[in-house]
Structure 1
Amino acid sequence: MNFAGSGRAMNSRALARSYRHTAALHSPAMRASVTAGAALAGWQYGRGRGGGWWRHGNGGYGWVGPLFWPFAYFDIYDYALWGPRIGAPFWYYGYDDIYAGLFGPYDYQGLSGYLPPRDAAGGPDRLALLCGEDSREIAGLPIDLIAQTIDPTEAQRAALDDLANASVTSAQKIKAACPSSIALTASGRLASMQQRIEAMIAGVATVQPPLEKLYGLLNDEQKARLNAVAEDQERKTERRRSRSLAPPCDVTQSSSLRWPTEEIETRLRPADTQRAKLTALQDASTKAADMLATSCRPEEAATPTARLAATGKRLDVMLQAVKQVRTALDDFYATLNDEQKAQFEAIGPRRTSVADRADMMQRYGRR
């Protein structure tokens, strides 16, 4: 697989304009498109219908190079404010991303295109753009829209200002968890994933009290207005949707997400003690998948405060799942020699390369 063009693709003017276009980034479909373009930067043949094997059901990607969960704050507040239809992207994150962390699709050449330029004058930090902006105009909750909708009283205006400040603080916490280096091992990727989730949990905890305070001050008519805005946002989203999407939390495991047991056996030739640790890792992975499938209930919460609390609970489960798999992975890794570790890390990029070639043959083989 050739990622030689990743640096050029990440520098493209069109992509950079999308990052900075506030209105565009508030659209889940546009964020998925931007994320897909970044995730597949330099990908020779995977930019059409096929895409990478680690793609989400909405067309976005949980991993973009070394970064887990691009535009995380948008996904949190879209679900909290507007409900499960608009906020569905939040619920596409789950076990598939842990699997992609174990078997990372990028090799070093592919990852290097996401690093900040060595020369500070050479352009913006491309990875930081995906991590999220922390200015109120871009990253914060749509405070102006909320204010226009509820026509706040003086007390409500003060509570709304508190929410605005908490929103920016939350975005800053999440942005601070952006990786500053690339992880070349599965353990490093899961560690980065864990750090990102922990920052998101802290961000949710920052916003929850002021949102509850504001919502508690609203009368029934104001709450109805907010619900009407959510319904209007949903109608706009449905009109823009050009294709059917796989439902969030789809537990049907595709062939690309099955454990490469035979390949591990062939490449690593594990001893009996190593095979026992590998089995424990697979068991931990299966338990993580079950935990995340069980905790996926995007339709249950009916109010913004309840939905924000639901994001916190979901992130708690994700954190527990990642820690569980990471512990088993580290136990397994401790039994491997350097050659076996290198062979394990080569599985993901090789699978990506095979998928790339298969996609090429499907598209161009009959010409």
Structure 2
Amino acid sequence: MPVTDVTTSPEDLTIRIVADFAHPVHRVWQAHTDPRQLERFWGPPTWPATFTTWDHTVGGRSLYHMTGPKGEKSYAGWEFLEISPETRFVVLDFFADENGNEVEAFPAARMELNFEPTEQGTRMTAVSKFPTLESLEQVLEMGVIEGTTQAMGQIDAVLEGLREYAQGKGTRVELLSDTLVRFTRLIEGPRELVWRAHNDPDLIRQWMLGPDGWEMFTCDVASSAGDRYQYAWSPVGDTEGEPFGFDGELLLVDAPVRAVTTERMTGMDGPATVNDLQLHEEDGATLVTTVIEYPDKQARDMILGTGMADGMEQSYARLERLLPQV
């Protein structure tokens, strides 16, 4: 994780976050001043940001919203107060309504981002100054530190480029918290095709099989939010094992970028996981990112212990071989 230090000062009414990057200042600055790059890491993993307005000039405003796993939206914006290229910028950081108007119940903060070169690359220091202790406590209770730390954990893929970040590294597993796990896999192929492979039953049956020796005998795909889906597999030939399946509800769909579903093993009681699939394309390759929220740490560790990551890698490798034939 790039975040190396977080300091909260009730006396100064500030939150200070330090992040270190193995990239030069101009590259880190670019990622923070290009809205298409910024929105790939500014929101937490399950609340990605979308910048709808971007005026990076003194006095200009930028508006964005973050979209939750059920389609909930949280609106916010920046008013640029100072800009020193590749050195610092200062904004008035405010919560907004859907029309971009500031929300008075959440007083705006003054946020200053400083970029300085280091021997390893760049250090970014972000200091947010709040008008009152109450407003500081409000954002702390909302989980701003945890959210910012998790959000910044996504920036490496942006700074490095998708191939350098993920090519040849297989399915990567990152524990984001006691209940959140991120899986990433680079697939050689355009996003539209990868999305189709996740939603076309004929294609799903050819790659979403886990280890060799299994076949999918049920593939009921959900296409609209609120629809139910069900997948089921059975062993073939000499493969040992019992048929099993998963089912759930499609909570959110934003083709060809994002799909959020619940998931539980068919016939089992207990809380479901929430699986957040997001696709990002760069130069003909697509990074498949799935963030899974488990009900608790025990469930997380038990499910990871089944070897699911190995099964995902075998499926993704099969998908990569399939795409050139589609």
Give the TM-score normalised by structure 1. 0.29
Which one has a larger percent helix, Structure 1 or Structure 2? 1
